[in-house]
Amino acid sequence: MIMKEVNQSTDPKMENEYKSMTHLSMGAINTQTDAYIQPNHATKSDEYKCPCCSKGVFIRQGEVRRHHFAHTRSENPCAYYSSPSESQIHKDAKMLMKDLLERKIPIRITRPCTSCNNLDIFDIPEITSTSRIYPDANGKEYTFRYNESPKSADVAYIDCDKIVYIFEICHTHKTHEEDRPEPWVEIDATGLHNLVGDYKHKGTLDIPCIRCKTCKPCIWTRLVRKLQQCIRTELELKQQQERVEKETQQRIQKELERIQQQEKDEKETQQRIQKELELKQQQEQAEKELITKLSEKNRKCISCGVNYCKCEQPTFIKYEYNNKLVCTSCRQYRCSCMKITEFFKT
């Protein structure tokens, strides 16, 4: 009666919230087949035991709460189903993922892009006769070497000795990206239990991947932008270099022009100085010649004391008033001593 009253007084929204606050869908071990069984696949006719304490458990499949296993209160204080530890949740999630793959449940992995928030979708292929799912029946995990170190996968889907998918179950600590080869996904343990607990075995089971990855279009867009930025930077650098080279050439050209102008000015200065020196020498020579001529012209005869004619080819005329010979060119008298000198020459 109480259950019916709860169902009638609870709307669907409150019912979903109530279910989310109930037990995780932790599985149990079938005592006859020793196989892991989810609560949704359990039947009341079979017997089950707790994976932790190996004591008997029973299935609760009511209409309000999520289906789950439970211990008999009076027989065992084990908290595997009421408040499981982190390691128990992690271990059960591994067995749950293995069970989903082996039951060939259609699984689709969804992973949001960290850049555009669009979903990358990966359909997990159905296992075949050549496929193996680890951990195996003895609980042995799949081991391999990657990046020169030994690794082990929480759940591995192997076909023909090749990795199809690796499933890492995360409860508190995420797996490092460099520790696993592609393709691999990381699944939240608690989220997986909740998804499977609400799964009605109809259609595909969408399991979110919690890896922080960027989708291929965003990667290409980022690469294109980076390439464009590199090209833009390269062009700017080239333009800067060309501008610097041009400025350097202009500076060199101006310096050459300055040097040429300076040499031209120096040459003109030297020419001017040379001309001034030549002019000065000419003036000095003219002054010297003038002085020489004046001195020659004014030189008097030592014997007679007459300022005589010194022309090379003189032409003399005789003055009537004194009967002396005068040069028609320099207007000087003819030295009277010349007669004596010519006399001795003859």
Give me the pLDDT at residue 173, please.
85
The pLDDT assigned to 303 comes to 67
pLDDT digits (tens, 9 = 90+) for 327-341: 877 777 777 775 544
Model confidence pLDDT, tens digit, residues 188-243: 999 998 888 877 777 889 999 999 888 888 888 889 999 999 999 999 999 999 99
| Predicted local distance difference test score (pLDDT) of residue 3 | 32
Give per-residue pLDDT as tens, 114-146.
888 888 899 999 999 999 999 988 889 999 999
Q: Residue 160 — left, alpha, or beta (φ > 0 → left; ψ -120 to 50 → alpha)?
A: left
Q: Look at residue 9 in the predicted model and tell me its pLDDT.
A: 38
